[in-house]
A and B are shown apart, each in its own frame.
Chain A
Amino acid sequence: MNPPTPDRRTFILQTAGALAGISLVPEGVETLPVLQGPRLKLGVIGVGRQGRAILAELQKIEQVEIAALCDSSAPRLETAAGRLKDVATFGDHRALLDARTDVTGLIVATPTHLHRAIVEDCLSAGRHVFCEAPVAASLEDCSALAKAAAAAKTVSQAGFQGRSNPTYRRAQPLMNAELRQLVSMYAQHHRKTSWRFPGSGPEAEHAANWRLDPEVSIGLAGEVGAHQFDVATWFREASPARVQGRGAIRLHKDGRTIADTIELDLIWPDGIALRYQATLASSYGGLHEMFFGAQGTIRLAWSHGWLFKEADAPTQGWEVYATRQEAFGEEGIVLVADATKLAAQGALASGIGLPHPSLYYALVDFVRSVTEAAPVRCSLQEGARATIVGILANRAVVTGEPVAIPPMG
């Protein structure tokens, strides 16, 4: 998932009222600690669009050596290998596992419905695994992956990037401390694209367009919504209890059966709901989540985040250390490393985002878990639970009926 850069200026202008904006850029992310563990040889299985993004972020991590690539498409594999120096290539992941026992960690970035067999093989072979999210396309596969992860002695991480994103990690504890009383949630994924991709022939084209194949696709709710549902679940420390909604093909009437526009309500056991919209017909507003509370509202947009406090909200102790600034006629508090220096340079007012994409932080967390035994940010078991919510949300879209979400530990 590649979150678009939000139009922060427009947003603040539109939102300015009785609210003061607090930018949720966490401290210390400009200079992340140097990784301490030994050099790690990694392989990437699946080198399509997401695999390419993963390789670009892995190249930034000095401790990582990209030693092997694997893809069932020979042209794609050749293209990816051509971008790197001295990397071994394999057309089948089992051949990689057999031939390169020195590759101790694998990143799995194949189409979602192909994850299970590959991840199980990697874990059985005693390798560490980072599995892109959603982790599977069926409830059965989610259950199998969770069991495989529980039985494995190696690290297994799911790629729900919000869990590693420093801005989200900064915002998560503010959920109770600043909002006090959560009243509702909203999230959206708006991107204008057909979700169709070219292939070198009919077979390759069909394979490339697995998101539009009703046999294997979990739709917008599962493929993109699951990431945002997971943020809400993580922030609330509880899963939703039921989901209802609908979907339709509003723009891309090209014979597809997968909805290009969906609307959902995910309802938690206490009655609080997350209203969700995803569309491939409009890019307006991009990708973001909002948490509305009686004392303030948190808005998160992957590279940026803000806390807007109500005028009657009490001042907290941590705000003493924050930099105050006039932003579009309102006084806000900016939380950012080196805020005073940046303000002197005039860089504060133009908006400050994370220095790396979310994906980078998720991969760094994986490397740390493998080499330094750091706690896993999002285990495969947690990833399986988050994926189940996405799959059931897609079921609600497809059937048009409310779907109960079973309690998950």
Chain B
Amino acid sequence: MTDPPLRLAVAAMGTRFELALLAGSGDLRVAGEAALEEIDMWHRRLSRFSPDSLLSHINRTACCSPVSLDRETYALFDDALRVWRDSEGAFDITVAPLMAGSGFADSAVSARAGWADGRAVALDPDNWTIGFAGPHVAIDLGGIAKGHALDCAAAVLRQSGVTSALLHGGTSTIVAIGAPEGRTGWRVGVASEADTATRTLCNTAMSVSDAWSQRSPTEAGGHIIDPRTGGAVAAGRRAVVLGASARIADAWSTALAVLRRIPQMFPSGFQASIT
């Protein structure tokens, strides 16, 4: 009988991140705490709830002058804008003002900001900076930050020699490292109102966006905003995306829940299902 996994957790990004660690070459607790610290660090940088986060700093100042970013944060924004382009605007980090208007407004994002789209965000690849087209622009990484934090935490675990682990953020975005001994992967149930489908994950990430999982206080629909219309996505839509990157899966699952189809520019190497 194998030992139960070591479970560690941290509250971050408005949800609960949990690690289940089974095997590795070093001390699992030490590796797990380093991974949790990585998640907490990204929470502090990317939170729209904290005035002292990097994201709040960007929202305050990027309209006036470009804000310098490190390589990892620049790459995150670059991916976010790529998904915006490739999803025909169905995923959009400039949805923050709309989120504020939808009742999910407990944040440092100013409600006075207007409605822009991804074109209002300028990334400078030569200088690794981000700038906004004007003071009406504000960004919210709610649809991608969890996946990013999980990717970074998984990298820390792998560097620390962990060979078998499952990580999730709020149960909607998951990274599987290796597999439990004697199995082909980690068995994960994806529940809906009707049934529960089981998937087996090994060295991959998965993200689920489900419009009825967290209803807006002011909308009859789900918690996902359609950035193209400003309205809530109808309840009951669900998209599941699997692939090598949790942040890409996170962003695309949101986009596909809005689109209800897989567009031509959906990234190769990723799998998706929409119900």
Contacts and interface: CB of A to CB of B under 8 A. Distances in A.
Interface of A: 2, 5, 30, 49, 52-53, 55-56, 59-60, 62, 82-85, 193-194, 196-198, 303, 345-347, 350, 352-357, 360
A56 B51 contact: no
28 contacts: A5-B50, A30-B60, A55-B70, A56-B70, A59-B70, A60-B54, A83-B72, A85-B71, A85-B128, A194-B30, A194-B33, A196-B27, A196-B30, A197-B30, A197-B33, A197-B34, A198-B27, A198-B30, A198-B34, A198-B159, A303-B52, A345-B110, A345-B112, A353-B51, A354-B52, A355-B57, A355-B60, A356-B57
B106 to A, nearest CB: 6
B264 to A, nearest CB: 33
Contacts of A193: 33, 37
A305 B167 CA distance: 35
A86 to B, nearest CB: 10
Interface string B48-78: 0011101011001000010111111000000
Nearest to B36: A193
Nearest to A66: B68
Contacts of B54: 56, 60
Contacts of A5: 50
Contacts of A354: 51-52
Given A30-B60, A60-B57, A198-B34, 4 more contacts: A56-B70, A59-B70, A198-B161, A350-B106
A59 B71 CA distance: 12
Nearest to A351: B51
Interface residues of B, number: 35
Nearest to B40: A2
Contact of B52 (A53, A82, A84, A355): A355
A360 B31 CA distance: 28
A346 B105 CA distance: 10
Interface pairs A-B: 7 shortest CB-CB: A83-B70, A198-B160, A59-B68, A196-B30, A83-B71, A355-B51, A353-B51
B136 interface: no
A56 B72 CA distance: 11
Interface of B: 26-27, 29-31, 33-34, 37, 41, 44-45, 50-52, 54, 56-57, 60, 65, 67-72, 105-106, 110-112, 127-128, 159-161
Contacts of B56: 355
B108 to A, nearest CB: 8
Among the interface residues A5, A82, A198, which one has the most CB atoms of the partner chain B within 10 A?
A198
A153 B110 CA distance: 46
A2 B71 CA distance: 22
A353 B50 contact: yes
Contacts of B161: 198
Nearest to A198: B160
A307 B67 CA distance: 35
A189 to B, nearest CB: 16
Contact of B31 (A55, A198, A353): A198
B127 A85 contact: yes
Contact of B51 (A53, A55, A60, A352): A352
